[in-house]
Amino acid sequence: MEPIQHQMMGYDRAITMFSPDGRLLQVEYAKRTVRLGNTAIGIVCKDGLLLVTDKRLVDKLVVPDAVEKIFKIDDHIMATAAGILSDARVLVERAQLKAQQHRVDYDTAIDNLSIVKDICNLKQLCTQSGGLRPFGVSLLVAGIDENGMSLFETDPTGLYYQYRATVIGEGETEVEELLHKEYKDSMTMEEGLSLAIKLLKKALNNTFNADRIDAAMIPLKTKTMEKVSKDKIEKLLK
């Protein structure tokens, strides 16, 4: 039976409905939203974590520095998203709150996996309760905690996987292929940044320029998130 027939029959009209072959079509459509979103790359390097994303600035009058595409969850955890960005903000603010609350309650930094699980629980709930819709966004969450460095990808169903390097959003299939070829565990953040920018350049083709790139890292030494300066990005672009 073909999907188009499922559409005719209306199996894709509600998240609370399975199709006859056992699929949740509304959730699959939400995943497609992610592939319409801006490209975002996460890389675990030898000396730290790296998130690089396309800001997609199409209007020259937007203030580029104010476009936040990489969010600080806590000093040691950061996240970026592809898909519906207002959905992402809801999830990020929830995570920030949870991290803060953890510091208040236990006086220690929260571990990365707890943040990821909490985000995914809310996402799962929104695939099961009528009257809501799934979150149309995937998140990359990168953090350093007692268990070391970790990079997670969460999808609209609430599923998560830990990656050494991954990409979400526009052109994810092409970039992923390149990432598989060129990624090495032994990369430094410097090398990782070069690679990520090279891949974004390919994905975005001639619309690419330094202003569109947002990048941040958490070095193993400091365990503290820092933004990558535009100067550095421009230097790497040459």
**Which residues in the 68-107 window bind a second copy by CB under 8 A?**
84-87, 89-90, 93
**Of the candidates 102, 128, 178, 226, which one interacts with a second copy according to CB under 8 A?**
128
| CA–CA distance, 3 with 213 (Å, rounded to integer) | 37
Site for a second copy in 31-70 (CB under 8 A): 31-36, 59-63, 66-67
- Write each residue from 175 to 194 as x if it is in contact with a second copy (CB under 8 A), else as -, in one continuous string: -x--xx--x-----------
Among 77, 80, 136, 218, binds a second copy (CB under 8 A): 136
CB distance 139 to 85 below 8 Å? no
Q: Which is nearer to a second copy, 89 or 102 (CB)?
A: 89
C-alpha 215/C-alpha 130 separation (Å) is: 37
Choose the binding region for a second copy from 102-110, 123-131, 196-204, 214-222 (rule: CB under 8 A).
Answer: 123-131
Give phi and psi for 47, each to the nearest 5: -115, 15
Among 101, 103, 161, 229, binds a second copy (CB under 8 A): 161
Task: Between 17 and 237, name the residue whose CB sits nearer to a second copy.
Answer: 17
Interface with a second copy by CB under 8 A: which range of 3-11, 46-54, 200-208, 211-219?
3-11
| Among the listed residues 180, 216, 175, the one whose alpha carbon sits nearest the alpha carbon of residue 48 | 216
Q: Tokens 């930094």, residue?
A: 109
* 207 contacts a second copy (rule: CB under 8 A): no
Give the contacts of 218 (CB within 8 A, at least 6 positions apart).
48, 49, 76, 77, 78, 142, 143, 144, 149, 224, 225, 226
Among 53, 80, 127, 138, binds a second copy (CB under 8 A): 127
| In contact, 132 and 169? CB cutoff 8 Å | no
